Structure 1
Amino acid sequence: MSRIGVLVVDDSVVVRRMVSEALSADPALEVLGTAPNGQVALNKLDQLAPDCVVLDIDMPVMDGLETLRRIRISRPHLPVVMFSTLTERGASATLDALALGASDYLPKPAHVANAPEAIAVVRAQLAPKIVALCGRPFAPRLAPAAAGEAVPAPAASGQGRVDVVVIGASTGGPGALERILPALPADLPVPVLVVQHMPPMFTRLMAERLDKHCALDVREAAHGSVIQPGQVLIAPGDRHLTIARREVHVYVKLTADPPENFCRPAVDPLFRSAAEVYGPGTLALVLTGMGNDGRRGSAAVYSRHGRVLAQDAASSTVWGMPGAVVGAGLADRVLPLDQMADVLLAAVADGRSDFRPPAPRTDRPLAAGGQP
């Protein structure tokens, strides 16, 4: 199998060299060339025909956002990974890039002691993203199935009404959430809890952006807050989002417990705690993402007779997380992204005479860049 060709675009010669060295050490990857700005990168696209572009945001002549806009016009499906600084400005620009159709992102290494350490960090984090986005087989550090782990018995038919919606996503998740959450009405009678694999600050900014476009109240989850219907809570970066019941109220419990599936926040802790608190009233959505986070949590939901919806392969940026759930036999339904909100609303309306969901929409536009 031929290696995946990568074009590295960054105005810093040091960064270009670091990324090139990191990626060249992976036998699945080949750095075809580099560019110091977006204009040079666009000129090299036809010449090099890369399979993936690693793109900085702050550059002279033509910055990363304008470069991405132009790439998406001529190459709507070319994987592009944004490589930005871990600052509030960098995080905000990265979210802009994801809205424009960037495939994924990686913050530049911070607080590393030396160049070899930075190269090792970039290789460990960036190479798997590129391989997954280019659709090649890859065996990353997936959490293995526990000894004796088995698929639970099928959930019983005639499930009760939905009392909570929990959502897990990773690569491609911000775009998927921007398709689902704005379609939910202000009178949604259940809370929605979301784990999106993102570092601190990114999750807060993502919640603020979603809040501007949603009828529901979207915010980053705060420890100890009472969960309310009609509210969307986003897990903060570097904290697991779980829930617990205290008398008649259900409240948020954020923890710094060890990462699960190499992630914090991770989807599994949220799904497990939702299954414990709400049992058959849990509706879990597993959206696009690398790895298998959400598989064990979905097993907990399924075993308590809750429902699990998984995004299909065709509409996923990476069919890792939903694919793991489907492969384990845990998905009640496998759906394209553009049907997910309508099925969610129909499930919430089932058994409720006081909630009528809006009519299914057929005009939801694709995300920027033509990505589903």
Structure 2
Amino acid sequence: MIGTSTRGPNALHTVLTKFPENLPIPIVIVQHIPPWFTSSLANRLNGVSKITVKEAGGREILQDGTGYIALGGFHLTLRPFGKSVMTHLEQGSKDCIHCPSVDQLFMSAAQLKDYGKIAVIITGMGSDGTKGPIALKGSAHVKAIAESKENSVVFGIPKAANATGLIDETKDVEHISETVMKYL
């Protein structure tokens, strides 16, 4: 799972294009973004990545080697579905500051007890992505990676995640993919 905000599309480009074609896990992504931009971001990243990148739909079974970008204006959460994991979309309220929310995604993943998880926090303003690592670290088999201060365009979200004391590694954005692969 990847959570990002301000300047996230460029950081996502750097991270996603470094994953191999045969990536043995799905990647679920929350980028704070308006709904009219999600599809074009997914298409652009799909065109330059070895993995498939798409806009996440609701009630969709996660597939290995696929990146799912949360639709702007909707929270993307994960739910068990038999032996698989399924996406769920929930429209955000009008007063929702971050929709989609990194914390909503991560907290839903914390409920998936039978799966290992890797949480990644990269560039962005604010603190969305602080509650999620706390919930995740309370569940089993979790590694958390945050982007380094020296490398981050906007260090708000990674800084807030680091302040929880629950981040396993802090890396420059260019090394996040290889760090994820190390934990597989």
TM norm. shorter chain > 0.5: yes
In structure 2, the CA distance between the partners of 1:261 and 1:304, relative to structure 1 (3 Å rule), is farther
Secondary structure at 1:288 match in 2: coil
Name which of 34, 39, 50 aligns with 1:204: 39
In structure 2, the CA distance between the partners of 1:282 and 1:289, relative to structure 1 (3 Å rule), is same
Indicate yes or no: 2:179 matched with 1:343. yes
- Greater per-residue helix proportion: 1
What are the superposed Cα offsets for residues 226-264 of structure 1, whole Å, 9 maximum, x if unpaired?
111111000001000101012222111000143797110
Corresponding residue of 1:14: none
CA distance in 2, matches of 1:240, 1:181: 21
What are the superposed Cα offsets for residues 293-351 of structure 1, whole Å, 9 maximum, x if unpaired?
00001111112141110101111111100100111212111111111111111111xxx
What are the superposed Cα offsets for residues 198-243 of structure 1, whole Å, 9 maximum, x if unpaired?
0012111000000000111110001111111111000001000101
Equivalent residues in 2 for 1:118-157, closer than 5 Å: none
CA distance in 1, matches of 2:30, 2:55: 10
Name which of 160, 167, 187 aligns with 2:2: 167
* TM-score with structure 2 setting the length: 0.95
Indicate yes or no: 2:119 matched with 1:284. yes
CA distance in 2, matches of 1:314, 1:273: 30
Report the AA paired with residue 77 of structure 2: T
Secondary structure at 1:210 match in 2: helix
5+ residue gaps, structure 2: none
Moved more, 279-288 or 212-221: 279-288
Identity of aligned residues (%): 34
CA distance in 1, matches of 2:164, 2:95: 18
CA distance in 2, matches of 1:340, 1:278: 24
Corresponding residue of 1:229: 64
Report the AA paired with residue 335 of structure 1: K
Q: CA RMSD in A?
A: 1.5
Indicate yes or no: 2:162 matched with 1:323. no
CA distance in 1, matches of 2:114, 2:123: 24
CA distance in 2, matches of 1:343, 1:208: 25
CA distance in 2, matches of 1:167, 1:259: 24
CA distance in 1, matches of 2:25, 2:95: 27
Corresponding residue of 2:14: 179
Corresponding residue of 1:49: none
Corresponding residue of 1:249: 84
Secondary structure at 1:245 match in 2: strand
Runs of 4+ residues over 4 Å off in structure 1: none
Q: Is the 8 A contact 2:17 2:49 kept in 1?
A: yes
Structure of larger gyration radius: 1
- Greater per-residue strand proportion: 2
Name which of 110, 125, 137 aligns with 1:275: 110
CA distance in 2, matches of 1:339, 1:277: 27
* TM-score with structure 1 setting the length: 0.48
Q: Is the 8 A contact 1:244 1:273 kept in 2?
A: yes
Secondary structure at 2:182 match in 1: helix
Aligned pair count reads: 183
